Structure 1
Amino acid sequence: MKPGYFSLVLHAHLPYVRHEEEHRLEERWVYEAISETYIPILWQVDRLKRPLNWTVSISPPVVEMLADPLVQDRYVAHLDEMLELIALELSGERSEAEVGTLHFYERRYQDLKNTFLHWDKNLNQAFRTYREHGYIDMVTCTATHGFNPHLFTDQAARTEIRSGLNCFERHYGFRPTGIWLPECAYTPGVDRILYEEGVRYTFVDEHALLDADPTPSKGIGAPVYSPHGVALFPRDQIISGKIWSSMIGYPGHPDYREFYRDLAYDRDWDYIQSFMHPEGIRFDTGLKMHRITGDTDEKDYYVRDWAEHQIANHATDFAETLEAHLEAHGAQTFPPFLVTAPFDAELFGHWWFEGPEFLGQVAERLEQFGIETITPALFLERHFQDLETVHVSMNTWGRKGYGDVWINERNEWMLRHLHMMETQLVKDVADYRGTSPLADRALKQLIRHYVLAVSSDWAFILDGQTTAQYAADRFREHTRLFAELETALYENKLTDEVLDAHFRAYPFLQDEDLEVDTFLSPHDYYVTKEREAEADAILVLTPEYTGNVVGGLGQRVVEEVEARAKQGETMYVLTPYKEGLLEYERHDNVHVYRVRLTSPFLEHVMNQVAAQNVGYVKLVHELVNAVRFKAVHHFDWMTIPAARSLAKSLAVPLYSTMLSFETTRNPHGHGGLFDAIHRIENSVLAEADTVYVGADVSIDELASRYAVKDNVTNCLSLDASPYKQNV
């Protein structure tokens, strides 16, 4: 075998365009994908009948539409109509070249129908069978191809991921460990959710690794681990460009079929009318009679034998190019050089008509050349110990490499609606979950409306201005249905009939695929799912709380909190938000909230302290709806205002830990700031039940500068709880 590996990944995706009413033009997208891409790819797998190590990603909208009896029956009717049109064409006077092309289509459409009926009209069965035979591997995508960098909440990102995995597992009988992130769009933090949902690898564009920190030593010749342990497989653009590039790619060869010329526009309306839309709209039939020919408007007829000759030539050229590329990197070991080639599946067959046959012949050439193909899953089994961990910034494989396609002047208006729906779902699930069977069903339907709205396809279509009106209408329809159902939930007007009607409009995903609890906020999840007979909690306010601080206040706070938690106390820690850390996290009995400032950056330190304390108070007023606090414990002077206020309003004891005072930190201090801090520190000495001071602080010296009472004492050892005496 040659050094290195080749990994082909095909991503099959369409937006969910299933409609109850007939003659929707968008539903033809499904027919085209089945006829030109999905079945032709299956033909190649069936022809070769051996492990190809291709990875096929199939998105939930495609899975659901392939399984839908209405779509299945309409596709059979579509095939029959195509065969009828071909028969009509053959009945007329046609040139020898036309007749040859028509006979090719006649055989092809009959084969399409035979294959479709062989699999009982459900191509999911075909893909599943070939995967179970070991011919291909399969992964899936998020529920509706939502563009994850623009999702506002972790809950929405998790719902898209988990619902997609649930849907795929229901149809395919297993839960994949790989996932295709829509638009290959990675953003820091999504890897944590992926890992928690059992996903171990995904795909990114090559610049994600080239711009990573640190730059991987293997470049794009190997995947890397994200900080949360998800392997990121990069696209190799040099090899992929041989196929998709408009400049150097194979699909532009003059002998291949011309995509943009269709029979519907070459025939008189009276002749073709019965095969067109009832409202008098012309659309592509799929009978494209011409070849590319060259850079000219005059196109010659398609000759299948010529196209097949070029397929063979290009398959050989691709194998030779790949061989040279791998040999150029043959010195790489641990792991060997890997070429990852991810594509939209519809490129093969739909956009490049001969593409599926090209893939089949490439598979044969690679075997002849001794080039090993490998799936990402198998690569990780062999080389999981050889990968580096790096930090990757937000990136996509779209125009300019970032989010330009999915947020611009044509589609940015969508985001405010999507973000509103996300935050409303978090609120609605917290308020209504478990209140009644109808409410739970309504919450799942609200999630269904949301995920249908969040599809990246709508923004993509608006950016390209292809079927822009349809994309905008679909988006607005899902937001409207969401608002209507949410109103019915609020006004207690839910009925089975109302919910049935909402589902019938777009019967995407089953209720078992949708988990209401994924839209619980982390704290609401804890309260509703895990908090039972929990003891009253201790509220801790501190300007520092991170586990990697050594010495000083930060270390003392962490040690104090962890010691109390081990003794059975439930600890709620409020501390300032820091970039890169979670706003909420829980470790056993310790709940940590990182609180953002209630106003933009304020230059004066006292204004910043005041804003931070306001944030503490506001959050606690929300927490007391679910948590009962038995004491407030604050650290350092910067948390005193909120601690004093909360202890009074909650009517609980106040404990203070002051490892140092302004006069001990700055014995020669003077001025307005010094005096202000001194006054704040004095106030807690007067109001706290107990004030614990550091070992370096002399209480006698403190008494000469502060109004010290008998409530001041040195810090207890960590083995002794400060709360037992008064709480």
Structure 2
Amino acid sequence: MKPGYFSLVLHAHLPYVRHEEKHRLEERWVYEAISETYIPILWQVDRLKRPLHWTVSISPPVVEMLADPLIQDRYVEHLDDMLELIALELSEDRTDEEKATLHFYRQRYHDLKNTFLHWNKNLNEAFRTYREAGYIDMVTCTATHGFNPHLFTEQAARAEIRTGLNCFERHYGFRPTGIWLPECAYTPGVDRILYEEGIRYTFVDEHALLDADPTPEKGIGAPVYSPHGVALFPRDQIISGKIWSSMIGYPGHPDYREFYRDLAYDRDWDYIQSFMHPEGIRFDTGLKMHRITGDTDQKDFYVREWAEHQIENHATDFAKTLESHLEAHGAQTFPPFLVTAPFDAELFGHWWFEGPEFLGKVAERLAEFGIETITPALFLERHFKDLQTVHVSMNTWGRKGYGEVWINERNEWMLRHLHMMEMQLVKDVADYRNQSELTNRALKQLIRHYVLAVSSDWAFILDGQTTAQYAAERFREHTRLFAELETALYQDGVSEQLLHDHYAAYPFLQDEDIDIDSFLSPHDYYVTTEREEEKPAVLVLTPEYHGHIVGGLGRRVVDEIEARADDGEVVYVLTPYHDELPEYERQGNIHVYRVRTTSPFLEHVMNQVATQNIAYVKLVHELSKRVSFKVVHHFDWMTIPAARELAQSLALPLYSTMLSFEATRNPHGHGGLFDAIHRIENSVFPASERVYVGEEISIHDLKQWYKVSENVNTCLPIETSPYGQESMKKNVK
């Protein structure tokens, strides 16, 4: 065997375009994908009947449409229409070249129909059978291909991922450990959600690794681990470009079928009308009679034998190119060099008609050349100890490598609607979860409307201006249905009939696929599922709270809070947001909120302190609707304004820990900033039940600078509670 590995990944995805009414042109996208891509790929798997180590990703919209009886029956009608058109064409006076191509199509459409009926009109059965036989591996995608870097909430990202996995598991009988992130779009933090949902690998573009920190030692010759332990497999653009590149790729060879020339536009309207849309619209039939020929409008007729000859040539060339590529990196070990080649499945067959046959021939050539193929799952099984962990920034495989395709002047208007829907779902699930079976179903239907709206396809279509009107109408319809059902929920107007009508419009997913708890915030999940009669909590405000802090104020805060939690206290910690840590996390009895400010770009330190304190106050007043607090404890001067306001407005005792003061840090200080901090620090003494200071601070010296009263004490040992056994509730006069 040659050194190294080759891994082919095919991602099958279409937007959910199932409509109850007949003659929707968009539904033909499904027919074309089945005829030109999905069944032809299955033919190659069936022909070779051995482990190919191809990984096939099928998105939930495709899975659902393949399983839909309405689409299944309409596809059979489509095949019959095609066979009727081919028969009509053969009855006409056509050239020998045309007749040869028509005979090829007649046999092909008979084979398509036989294959489709063999699998009981459900191609999921075929893919599942071949996967269970060990010929291919399978993964899936998120629920509707939502572009994850633009999702506003963690809950939306989790719902997309979990719902997609649930749908796939229902159809395929297992839960994959790999996932295709829509548009190969990775953003920091999504890996934590993936890992928590059982995902161990995904795919990224090669620049994700080349620009990583640190740059991986193996370059793109091996996957890397993200910070949360998800393996990222990079696309090898040198090898992939042999197929997809418009300049050097195989699909542009003159002997291959021309995609842009269809029989529907070569025939008179009176002749072709009965096979077209009843409203008088021409559309592609799929009978493309010409070959690429060259850069000219004059196209020669397609000659199947010539195309098959080029398939053989190109499969051999691909194997030789891959062989040279692997040999050039043959010295790499631990792990051996890996070439990962992820593609949209529809490239093979739909865009490049001969593509599925090419893949089959490549599989044969690789075996002849001694090149080992491998799935990402098998690669990790062998080499999980050999991978490096790096930090990867946001990236995609789209135009220019980032998010330009999915946010620009043509589609940016969609984001504000999507973000509002996300936030409303977080609120609605917290407010209405488990009130009744009907409200739970309504919440699931709201999630269904949301995921159908968040599909990246709508933004992609608007960017490309292909079927832009349809994309905009679909997006607006899902947002309208969401608003209509949410209003009914608020007004106690949800009924069986209303839910039936909403589902019938787009019968995507089963209710069992949708977990409404995925839209619960971590805190709401705790409140609604775990907290019963929780005792009053300690509220802590601190400018530092990170697990990696080794000394100073931060260490004192962590140690004291952990000691109080060990005593049985419930502690809520509010601290500034940190972009490498979650906004909320629970550590036993400790609830940590990392609070964002609404004005993050203020330069003056006092403005920063003010906005941070305002954010603290707003969050605590929301929490106080569900959480009972018994004491406010703040650390350092930067949290004094919020701590004082909260102690007063919630009628709670205030405890202060000041390990340093501006006057002790800077005894010769003067000026506006010094005076402002000094005034804030001075205000803590009359407001606090107790003020604890560091052992190195002389209370006698402190009195020279501040209006110190009898409530000032040296810090207690960590193991001693500052609150003691006394009642924490102030007497409100």
TM-score normalised according to structure 1 size: 0.98
**Cα distance in structure 1, aligned partners of 2:599 and 2:394:** 27
SS at match of 2:471: helix
Aligned to 1:533: 533
Shift of 1:707: 3.1
Residue in structure 1 matched with residue 12 of structure 2 by the alignment: 12
Alignment partner of 2:571: what SS? strand
- Mean Cα deviation higher: 419-428 or 50-59: 419-428
- Which segment is superposed worse, 638-647 or 666-675? 666-675
Instruction: Find the counterpart in structure 1 of residue 677 from structure 2.
Output: 677
Give the match for residue 151 of structure 1: 151
**How far apart are residue 428 of structure 1 and its match?**
1.2
Instruction: Work out whether 1:300 is the aligned partner of 2:289.
Output: no
Write the distance in 2 (CA, Å) between the matches of 1:246 and 1:329: 27
Q: In structure 2, how many angstroms separate the alpha carbons of the residues matched to 1:616 and 1:161?
A: 31
Q: CA 1:404/1:603 → structure 2, altered by over 3 Å: closer, same or farther?
A: closer
Moved over 4 A (4+): none
Code of the aligned partner of 2:515: E
Matches of residues 497-508 of structure 1 in structure 2 within 5 Å?
A: 497-508=497-508
Does the Cα contact within 8 Å between 1:644 and 1:684 map onto a contact in 2? yes
Offset of 1:725 from its aligned partner? 3.5
Which residue number corresponds to residue 610 of structure 1?
610
Once residues 501 and 385 of structure 1 are traced to their aligned partners in structure 2, the CA distance between those partners, rounded to angstroms, is: 52
Question: Within 1, Cα distance between the matches of 2:182 and 2:671?
Answer: 57
Give the C-alpha shift of residue 101 in structure 1.
0.8
Shift of 1:663: 2.3
The aligned counterpart of 2:122 is 122
Alpha-carbon distance, 1:623 to partner: 0.6
Give the match for residue 315 of structure 2. 315
Query: Is 1:496 aligned to 2:501, yes or no?
Result: no
CA separation of 1:602/1:406 partners in 2, compared to 1, >3 Å: closer, same or farther?
A: closer
> Residue 475 of structure 2 corresponds to which residue in structure 1?
475
**In the superposition, relative to structure 1, how do residues 500 and 725 fare at CA in structure 2: closer, same or farther (>3 Å)?**
same
**Equivalent residues in 2 for 1:590-609, closer than 5 Å:** 590-609=590-609
> Unpaired runs of 5+ in structure 2?
729-733
Kept in 2: contact 1:598–1:614 (CA 8 A): no
CA deviation digits over 1:640-698, x for unaligned, max 9? 22212212222222211111222222223334433433333333222321221111012
Deviations 1:602-656 (A, max 9, x none): 4443333232222221111111011000111111122222212212222222211
Inter-CA distance 587–707: structure 2 relative to 1 (3 Å threshold): same
Q: 1:539 touches 1:571 (CA, 8 Å); kept in 2? A: yes
How far is 1:472 from its partner?
0.9
**Residue 586 of structure 2: aligned partner:** 586
Q: How many angstroms does 1:598 deviate by?
A: 4.4
SS in 1 for 2:405: coil
Say which SS state the counterpart of residue 227 (structure 1) adopts. coil
Give the C-alpha shift of residue 245 in structure 1: 0.9
Compute the displacement of 1:99 (Å): 1.2
Letter of the aligned partner of 1:581 in structure 2? Answer: L
2:641 paired with 1:635:
no
- Counterparts of 1:241 and 1:419 in 2: how far apart (Å)? 36
- Residue 390 of structure 1 aligns to a residue whose secondary structure is coil
**Change beyond 3 A, Cα 1:537–1:320:** same
- Identify which range, 592-601 or 636-645, moves more after superposition: 592-601
Q: Does the Cα contact within 8 Å between 1:430 and 1:520 map onto a contact in 2? A: yes
**Structure-2 change in CA distance of 1:19 and 1:335 (3 Å):** same
Aligned to 2:441: 441
Cα distance in structure 2, aligned partners of 1:319 and 1:702: 80
Matched, 1:261 2:261: yes
Task: Single out whichever of 529-538 and 240-249 deviates more from structure 2.
Answer: 529-538
Q: Which amino acid aligns with 2:155?
A: Q
Give a deviation string over 1:216-258, Cα, whole Å, max 9, x none: 1111110111111111101111111111111111111111111
Task: Give, in whole Å, the separation in 2 of the partners of 1:403 and 1:602.
Answer: 27
Cα distance change, pair 341–604 in 1 and its aligned pair in 2 (3 A): closer
Partner Cα separation in structure 2 for residue 674 and residue 295 of structure 1: 75
Residue in 2 that maps onto 1:655: 655
Residue by residue over 1:13-67, the C-alpha shift from the partner in whole angstroms, topping out at 9 and shown as x without a partner, is: 0000000000001100000000000000000000000000000000000000000
Question: Which deviates more from structure 2 when the two are superposed, residues 714-723 or residues 276-285?
Answer: 714-723
- 1:270 aligned partner: 270
Q: Secondary structure at the match of 2:187?
A: coil
| Higher mean C-alpha deviation, range 321-330 or range 287-296 | 287-296
Q: Give secondary structure in 2 for the equivalent of 1:388.
A: coil
Q: CA deviation at 1:600?
A: 5.0
Q: CA deviation at 1:98?
A: 1.2
Change (3 A) 1:485 1:682: same
2-side partners of 1:547 and 1:112: how far apart? Answer: 60
The equivalences for 1:82-481 within 5 A come to: 82-481=82-481
> How far apart are residue 74 of structure 1 and its match?
0.3
Distance 1:513 1:12 in 2: 20
Q: What are the Cα deviations for residues 320-363 of structure 1, in whole angstroms up to 9, with x where unaligned? A: 11111100110010000000000000011111111101100100
Larger deviation, residues 253-262 vs 596-605: 596-605
- 1:369 & 1:671 partners in 2: Cα distance? 78
Amino acid paired to 1:50? R
**Residue 513, structure 1, aligned to residue 538, structure 2:** no
What is the SS of the residue equivalent to 1:632?
strand
Q: Deviations over 1:403-452 (max 9, x none)?
A: 11111111111111111111111111111112222111111111111111
CA contact (8 A) 1:4 1:372 kept: yes
The amino acid across from 1:67 in the alignment is A
User: Per the alignment, in what secondary structure is the counterpart of residue 229 of structure 1?
Assistant: coil
Once the two structures are overlaid, the 10-residue window that deviates more, 650-659 or 159-168, is: 650-659
SS at match of 2:365: helix
Q: Cα deviations across residues 275-321 of structure 1 (Å, max 9, x unaligned)?
A: 11111111111111111122222212111111111111111111111
Matched residue type, 1:394: M
8 Å Cα contact 1:658-1:693 kept in structure 2: yes
Q: Secondary structure at the match of 2:655?
A: strand
Residue identity in the other structure for 1:681: E
Q: Does 1:70 align with 2:76?
A: no
Q: Aligned equivalents of 1:535 and 1:580: distance in 2?
A: 31
Code of the aligned partner of 2:99: V
Comparing 601-610 with 103-112, greater Cα deviation is found at 601-610
Partner AA of 2:540 in structure 1: V
Question: Secondary structure at 2:430's aligned position in 1?
Answer: helix
Q: 1:717 to 1:256 in 2, by over 3 A?
A: same
- Match in the other structure for 1:25: 25
- Greater shift, 703-712 or 690-699, is seen at 703-712
Structure 2 letter corresponding to 1:349? G
User: What is the rounded CA distance, in whole Å, between the counterparts of 2:94 and 2:339 in structure 1?
Assistant: 47
SS, match of residue 218 in structure 2: coil
Residue identity in the other structure for 1:642: A
CA distance in 1, matches of 2:330, 2:292: 38
Which amino acid is the alignment partner of residue 434 of structure 1?
N
> How far apart, CA to CA, are the structure 1 residues paired with 2:601 and 2:273?
66
Equivalent position SS for 1:11: strand
C-alpha separation in 2, matches of 1:681 and 1:361: 77
2 CA distance for matches of 1:27 and 1:706? 76
| Whole-angstrom CA distance in 2 between matches of 1:255 and 1:598 | 60
Separation in structure 2 between the aligned mates of residue 405 and residue 701 of structure 1, nearest angstrom: 63
Q: How far, CA to CA, are the matches of 1:371 and 1:503 in structure 2?
A: 49
Provide the rounded CA distance (Å) in 1 between the counterparts of 2:325 and 2:549. Answer: 48
Comparing 688-697 with 494-503, greater Cα deviation is found at 688-697
Partner of residue 731, structure 2: none
User: Contact between 1:12 and 1:59, CA under 8 Å: does it hold in 2?
Assistant: yes
| 1:573 corresponds to | 573
- Greater alpha carbon shift after TM alignment, 353-362 vs 690-699: 690-699
Query: What amino acid maps onto 1:284 in structure 2?
Result: D
| Cα distance between partner residues in 2 of 1:395 and 1:641 | 40
